[in-house]
Chains A and B, each alone.
Chain A
């Protein structure tokens, strides 16, 4: 089965820590995405990448950066985690016709 995997399902970090969320896809997709989902705010796009080393900001990039050194891996980085970054983080990759989402990482920042 083709799939998108995320490094952790649950993560607890302290304020100020540097946090890495990893996403890997095995489908040779060029486009990959990071979203966060919060109650009442829905799914919001943080960053997306349309090729290796290529990235574009989404709607809410503040406080985040990304890295895409290899086609299959797209990393989301919280340079200095804050409590307002407590959220569910979802990664996706897509073909021209459809996106496939990972299971999500639920991050708690204390």
Chain B
């Protein structure tokens, strides 16, 4: 079973920041938080990952709470192309990746 809890769906207006929450209250010390997304009919795409510090790359920012029990993926300026299912996964490095149901993000024009 997936170790994370995400809302099944969210809406966000185009051009606004999309904030996707994830709860992972049973995360272990050696587990990282990974985010992937899947655009319709394509394979999942890696977005970002982190251990305990906040991370930022060209796609998104990842905010991890101090107790590591939850995190938020931030897409700073959402576009229609960001419409996808977003998966939050906790896993040690080099381990198998187990997907949950994810959050279906709709970007509204």
**Is chain B's binding surface mostly helix, strand, loop or mixed?**
loop
List A46-83 residues whose CB lies under 8 Å from chain B.
Answer: 48, 50, 56, 58-59
Known A-B contacts A48-B96, A96-B93, A101-B44; A42 and B49 likewise in contact (beta carbons under 8 Å): no
B34, B44, B100, B102, most chain A CB atoms within 10 A = B44
Question: By DSSP majority rule, is chain A's interface helix, strand, loop, or mixed?
Answer: strand
C-alpha gap A75/B94 in the complex (Å): 20
Count contacts on B: residues with CB < 8 A to the other chain.
20
With A33-B97, A50-B94 known as contacts, the answer to whether A103 contacts B46 (CB < 8 A) is no
A100 at the interface (CB under 8 A from B): yes
* CA of A4 to CA of B34, assembled, Å: 20
With CB as the reference atom, state the residue of chain B lying closest to A30: B94
